[in-house]
Structure formats: structure tokens, C-alpha cells
Amino acid sequence: MTGKGLGDFDLVVFDWAGTMVDFGCRAPVAALIEAFARRGVTLGEGTVRADMGKAKADHVRALLAMPDVAAAWVAANGAASGEADVTALMDDLGPLMRQKAAEAAELIPGAAETVAALRAAGLKVASSTGYTREMMAPVLTRAAEQGYAPDHLVCANETPEGRPSPLMIYKACAELGVWPLSRVVKVDDAEAGIAEGRAAGCFTIGVSASGNATGLSRAALAALDPASRSTRLAIAAGRLTAAGADLVIETVADLIPALSGERRVRA
């Protein structure tokens, strides 16, 4: 039990892919795999998901630093990667991300209703993302059409450091006039985002079913037998708890009940 309720908070900061849109956090995985494939490097989905939540340029750097990826890069391109390669990959990744993120920008069930309930309770709603603002443009349009438009958005490269630093949360709080940080909730599906919330001093909530930690589309998750589903969600919840989550819920639809004491889900 958390002992926390809606009255203890003034602001909720939501992640995007895997938390509010794109069940399974599929778009960035597909975009990164394709961007690297264009340079002759094959990435596995698990490899791509390892650093999910970081700013996309930092994510690319983390991938290139992995020994297996670094070796594959040399084999395909004849030399070790450098910052020029990061720039080239990001040039490819921008259009890929816009396309795939737009295709996957369906709100996770309960997202719009959760935001409406938070606002009715007097809370502000902010958002942060590892996507650049250019990548986010089609996502924002599609989300607004479905009833979700946060009060504030911070994108990658709009603070001196991205996740797991707390600077994106600090920026949102400063510009919305919210303090102390103990009155802020951070909701995220990736370990980097959980670390961000913890570093900021927020009450931090992990999302196990809809995001990177499980990595399945809504249909694929629903198709699992109950035992397999429970196992996958338990593993995801364990990862999020290990990253520092104060509370783990399955999807954003569970947020209001969890903070109202009606249903609290812990790893």
C-alpha cells in the first residue's frame, strides 16, 4: 500500500510510447531496426529495447557501444562508428520515426479517460519523451484527435541531458509552476524513465503491460494463455521495480484506481 492519493499531487508527467500511445512500444523498435539495417547491421528486438526511453541520439550511441553491435558495424562498414555515423543514423531515423510513430499513435485504452479524471481532480498533466519534437509532430496531432492533449511537452534535446537525468521533469515543473517534486507523479514504461522519476524525487509509477518491459502489441498480449501472460507481466513488473518504481500498474487505465486506493498493484 502506498498511502498516497490524488490529493497528494499537483502534476502527473506521462511518457508517450508504451505509456499513453503505441501499446507495446513497437514504433521506436521498428524504426531503429530499419535504420541500422540500412547500414548493414541486424539488430534483435531485445537489443533495441535495452536502452529504450533515452533520447533517440543517446539510444543510437548506446546501441553502437554494445560489443556485438560494434563488431557488426565494423564488419559491415569497414571502420568503427563515430559521431558522424550517429548523425547519419539520426538522419535516417527521423523520417522512419515520424512514419512509424504516426502509424502507432493509437491511445492506449483508458488514457483519455485517465487524463480527464486527473484534470477534474485539479491536477495538471505534462509529458516527456525520448522522441525529438519533429518525431512527435504526427503523434501530437493523432493524440489530440483522440482526446489527449497534455498541458506541457518536453522532447529530446530540449534539456542539456535526457533520461535518466531528471531535467525534463524539472523543465516541466518550472514552466508549469509546480513544486515541490514530491507532489509530482511520473508514469513510464521503461527503466530509463523510472530512473528519471526517481532522480527527480517524484512518486514514480511503472506500467508493465502496455510498454517496453513486456513489448507485445495489445492483440499479442491478449492472445497469451493466462499463465504466460502472468509470467510476462511479473517479469516486467520486476524490472520496473528494480529500476526504482514506487508502484507498478498494468496500464494507464489503472492509474486513478491505484491512486484512489481502489486498486493498488505492486511488483
Domain ranges of the chain: 6-26+105-259, 27-103
Per-residue pLDDT band at 4 (split at 50, 70, 90): confident
Helix residue ranges per DSSP H, 38-132: 45-49, 56-65, 67-77, 83-103, 111-120
CA nearest to 7, candidates 261, 266, 265, 264: 261
Q: Quick check: do 6-26+105-259 and 27-103 share a fold? A: no
Phi, then psi, of 6 in degrees rounded to 5: -60, -35
CA nearest to 9, candidates 184, 214, 240, 194: 184
C-alpha cell belonging to residue 84 = 558522424
In this structure, which topology does domain 6-26+105-259 adopt according to CATH?
Answer: Rossmann fold (3.40.50)
pLDDT at 59: 98
Residue type, 99: Q
Residue 3 has pLDDT above 90, yes or no: no
Look up 22 and say whether it is catalytic. no
Per-residue pLDDT band at 1 (split at 50, 70, 90): very low
Residue 263 has pLDDT above 90, yes or no: no
Q: What residues pair up with 127 in beta bridges, in sequence order?
A: 14, 153
CATH of 27-103, one of 1.10.150.240, 1.10.10.10, 1.10.8.100, 3.40.225.10: 1.10.150.240
Per-residue pLDDT band at 267 (split at 50, 70, 90): very low
Of the candidates 4, 56, 100, 124, the residue annotated as catalytic is 56
Place of cell 511520473: 186
Beta strand pairing status for 124-128 and 11-14? parallel
CA nearest to 61, candidates 40, 87, 37, 41: 87
pLDDT at 262: 59
pLDDT in tens, 197-237: 999 999 999 999 999 999 999 999 999 999 999 999 999 99
Question: How does DSSP assign 58-84, residue by residue?
Answer: HHHHHHHHSHHHHHHHHHHHSS---HH
pLDDT in tens, 124-183: 999 999 999 999 999 999 999 999 999 999 999 999 999 999 999 999 999 999 999 999
| Interval 59-81 mean pLDDT | 98
**Using CA atoms, how far apart are residues 189 and 88, in angstroms rounded to an integer?**
28
pLDDT at 2: 59
Q: Is-contact 175 195, C-beta < 8 A?
A: no
Of the candidates 10, 15, 189, 246, the residue annotated as catalytic is 15
Instruction: Enter the pTM of the model.
Output: 0.94
The sign of the dihedral angle between the CA atoms of 106, 206, 154, 161 is: negative
Look up 100 and say whether it is catalytic. no
CA nearest to 19, candidates 87, 89, 104, 97: 104
> How would you list the strands of the sheet with 184-188, edge to edge?
152-154, 124-128, 11-14, 184-188, 203-207, 247-249
What number of other Cβ atoms are within 10 A of residue 231's Cβ?
Answer: 12
C-alpha cell belonging to residue 73 = 558495424
